Chain A
């Protein structure tokens, strides 16, 4: 679905951001991109819908070389949500903001209405439809920016830091919506620093540092590799820390537990007899 071949990019020709990035993402995959601040994650996803163009290398989207497609054409395939919602919102009501994208893509008035209502509901924004996006909290603004893209259900969703400003419940709602779109064949790509969000929902992780991909593989293997964690400024998932600490004291507990229920069962197993 998306193929990136040896892409290099430097802002103004001098500030190096990508130094030879290659990756392939198949249709229907769910992929997380993680790594050091300034590693080039945002720069990379902006190449996927043509906001930035490679200075060297190629970007292939749905079989076509992106250089032959306009931003408008690419945006129909790849819906990008920006890291900072301020760069994305410009109308005077939340509803208009969501309808704008739908109308642009040729949805009928009925479809526009239905998608808008459903997306507002899914992201916990029901009460805010008539509000100005400029009079919202930070987390609410981010959800509106997400809604404008999620409502159009593009083939590829590229979301830059979607969990910023979200509480645990909102993250869960967002994950549910993404997994539902994925079940219906959409490719989901997120850039995020949220380790727990990744380990719970994304089977594949790409870890970056200094404009390069350092690791690309199953989330559990990438996020347990100390060398990768060190180079990409990542830390171990909370449950892995707990499992490793328990394993030290009680070798029968596997250090590889990744679910809350597994950890709970392990501790019940240890203490069950003593209560």
Chain B
């Protein structure tokens, strides 16, 4: 069985009139990097919450179908148990931060998983170094800028060394260079350590190069699931308002005019390369 398996899963929040997820089926294998995208309100966050058991254990409601994490049905597992496999970075970082300073925040997760104190300290230092958090070490998580909070929230989740990282719009408050830096770190952990990544993002120009797959959602359903170049060049993607890279948009416009490039470009450099190639043909 896949590491993460959504099997015909539906969910309706308590008191809501309509389903937030409708018969969602997808599987994510170990080592994959999957990007989830789709219009605001389509169910991305709800799907993330199912992966670590917040749905249905914390957010209650009607459920049908099943979600399996590493073979375990999330209906039967506790959130604490699932935390040893799945680490979730919340969409709103402020809601994730619970301690009195950044150092404690980074230690909190591993401590709760029962990691020995010495290793906890080591992980905290590694994360402070990796995410440039030294100047924030002593700060209160609620007395920081939005971007600083988001870096700390990512750090706190990475300190768990999760088998599966689920990150819900983890760059939304980051300046463009920090966004690139954090995404590079995630891509590296994916490639080098085999960490499985499920990441929600609207800015696909930032992640398309790292992702092995893009899952496109609309109105609680998965409407496309494939490699980035295929999903991004589908008409439906532009129709429902996905943040398609500019280079891919140029490709689409040229195609409409009868000008074909040999593949779908994801970046400006790649576009220039393909144009050069087409010119020489």
A residues at B contact (CB < 8 Å): 11, 15, 34-38, 42, 83-84, 86, 135-140, 143, 161, 164-170, 172, 193, 195-196, 232-235, 238-246, 248-250, 260, 263-264, 267-268, 270-272, 274-275
Q: Is A164 a contact of B271 with CB atoms below 8 Å?
A: no
Q: Tell me the nearest residue of chain A to B176, going by C-beta.
A: A235
Residues in B with CB closer than 8 Å to A232 are 175
Bitwise interface map of B from 241 to 260 toward A, beta carbon under 8 Å scored 1, else 0: 11111110110011001111
Q: Is the CB of B192 closer than 8 A to any CB of chain A?
A: no
Which residues of B are at the interface with A, using a C-beta cutoff of 8 A? 13, 15-16, 38-41, 45, 91-92, 94-95, 139, 143-148, 151, 168-169, 172-180, 202, 205, 240-247, 249-250, 253-254, 257-260, 267-269, 271-273, 275-276, 278-279, 281
Q: 18 pairs across A/B with beta carbons < 8 Å?
A: A37-B151, A37-B175, A83-B173, A86-B94, A139-B41, A161-B173, A164-B173, A167-B38, A167-B241, A168-B243, A193-B147, A193-B176, A232-B175, A239-B268, A244-B268, A245-B273, A268-B254, A271-B254
Report whether over half of chain A's contact residues are helix, strand or loop; otherwise say mixed: helix
B276 to chain A, nearest CB (A): 5
Specify which chain A residues have a CB less than 8 angstroms from the CB of B38 in the assembled complex.
Answer: 167
The one of B151, B173, B174, B268 in contact with A242, judged by C-beta atoms closer than 8 angstroms, is: B268
C-alpha gap A238/B16 in the complex (Å) = 40
Point out the residue from B175, B249, B268 that lies within 8 Å of A241, measured CB to CB: B268
Q: For the complex formed, measure the closest distance between the CB of A51 and the CB atoms of chain B, giving whole angstroms.
A: 15
Could you tell me if A242 and B272 are in contact, using CB atoms closer than 8 angstroms? Answer: yes
Name which of A168, A239, A250, A263 has the most chain B CB atoms within 10 A of its CB: A168
B213: shortest Cβ distance to chain A, in Å? 19
Kindly provide the distance from the CB of B176 to the nearest chain A CB, expressed in whole angstroms.
4
Contacts A135-B13, A274-B278 supplied; 9 other A-B pairs, CB < 8 Å: A15-B139, A37-B147, A167-B40, A193-B147, A193-B174, A193-B176, A238-B205, A242-B272, A263-B246
Q: Which residues of B contact A140 (CB under 8 A)?
A: 40-41
A235 close to B272 (CB less than 8 A): no
Q: Which residues of A contact B41 (CB under 8 A)?
A: 136-137, 139-140
- Contact B272 A260, beta carbon cutoff 8 Å: no
Known: A135-B16, A165-B40. Is A245-B268 also a contact (CB below 8 A)? Answer: yes
B242 touches A139 (CB 8 A): no
Measured CB to CB, the closest approach of chain B to A89, in angstroms, equals: 12
Please give me the 6 A-B residue pairs with the lowest Cβ-Cβ distance, nearest first. Answer: A169-B241, A242-B268, A37-B147, A139-B40, A245-B272, A241-B268
Q: Are A271 and B169 in contact (CB under 8 A)?
A: no
A-B contact count (CB 8 A): 169
Q: Known contacts A168-B243, A268-B257; is A37 also within 8 Å of B148 by CB?
A: yes
Q: Select the residue from A240, A248, A263, A267 with max chain B CB neighbours within 10 A.
A: A267
The answer to whether A170 touches B241 (Cβ under 8 A) is: yes
Q: Do the beta carbons of A260 and B253 come within 8 Å of each other?
A: yes
Q: What residue of chain B has the Cβ atom nearest to residue A249's Cβ?
A: B276
Task: Report whether A275 and B258 are in contact in the complex, using a CB–CB cutoff of 8 Å.
Answer: yes
Which partner residue on chain A sits nearest B175 by CB separation? A233
* CB pair B281 A38 closer than 8 Å: no
Given A170-B40, A233-B175, A271-B259, does the pair A138, B268 have CB atoms closer than 8 Å? no
Bound: A248/B245 CA distance, A: 21
A135 CB contacts on chain B under 8 angstroms: 13, 15-16
On whether the beta carbons of A165 and B91 are closer than 8 Å, the reply is yes
Given A83-B146, A166-B40, also A37-B269 (CB < 8 A) = no
Q: Report the bound CA distance from A86 to B146 in whole Å.
A: 12
Closest to A131 in B: B16
The answer to whether A138 and B92 touch across the interface, beta carbons within 8 angstroms, is yes
B92/A245 in contact, CB under 8 A? no
A38→B147 contact, CB < 8 A: yes
- Establish whether residues A241 and B243, one from each chain, have CB atoms under 8 Å apart when the complex forms: no
Q: Which residues of B contact A244 (CB under 8 A)?
A: 268
Hey, which chain B residues are within 8 Å of A15, CB to CB?
139, 143
Contacts of B95 in A (CB 8 A): 86
Q: Which residue of A lies closest to B271 (CB)?
A: A242
**A contact residues around B173 at 8 Å (CB):** 37, 83, 161, 164, 193
With a cutoff of 8 Å between Cβ atoms, the chain B residues found around residue A143 in the complex are 40
Q: Do the beta carbons of A234 and B40 come within 8 Å of each other?
A: no
Chain B, residue nearest A247 (CB): B272
CA distance A234 to B145 in the complex (A): 17
Is there contact, CB below 8 Å, between B250 and A267? Answer: yes
Among B95, B273, B275, residue most surrounded by chain A Cβ atoms (within 10 Å): B275
Query: Are A249 and B272 in touch, CB under 8 angstroms?
Result: yes
A241 contact set on B, CB distance < 8 A: 267-269
Are the C-beta atoms of B268 and A249 separated by less than 8 Å? no
Query: Closest approach, in angstroms, between the C-beta of B91 and any C-beta of chain A?
Result: 4
